[in-house]
Amino acid sequence: MTDGYYETSIHSFTKNKTSTVIVSKEFLSEEDTVLIIDDFLANGDASLGLYDIAQQANAKTAGIGIVVEKSFQNGHQRLEEAGLTVSSLCKVASLEGNKVTLVGEE
């Protein structure tokens, strides 16, 4: 952490790339409550990285909202183990055989 901003490294499973994420202290403080939204949940690294930034600011995290969760990977479990509430719009059970199978369709 530096004087003017919060910083963390986040690895993207989808892009297989690690990026540095920086948020100015001007935009996040201990008075804030954050809802983290992510498009895809695989291993949870992106959401955990953003949660790390919220913790650096002593901000409250209301939870994690996911559009598409790859339920066959460990991201949901990792986020819950960190004490976070996770809500997903769509849960994918499998991508085998070039077919998308949703949770409940197995």
Q: What is the pLDDT of residues 59-99, one digit of tens each?
A: 999 999 999 999 999 999 999 999 999 999 999 999 999 99
Q: How many domains, in total, are found in the chain?
A: 1
Query: What is the mean predicted confidence (pLDDT) over 34-57?
Result: 98
> Which range marks the domain in which residue 66 is found?
5-102
The percentage of the chain sitting over the pLDDT mark of 90, rounded to a whole number, equals: 92
* Domain CATH for 28: 3.40.50.2020
Query: What is the mean predicted confidence (pLDDT) over 25-38?
Result: 98
In the chain, where does DSSP find H-type helix?
Answer: 45-56, 75-81
Task: Check: CB of residue 68 under 8 Å from CB of residue 39.
Answer: yes
- Nearest-CA neighbor of 54 among 78, 34, 74, 80? 34
List, for residues 7-23, the tens digit of each pLDDT value.
999 998 888 999 999 99
CA distance 7 to 53: 7
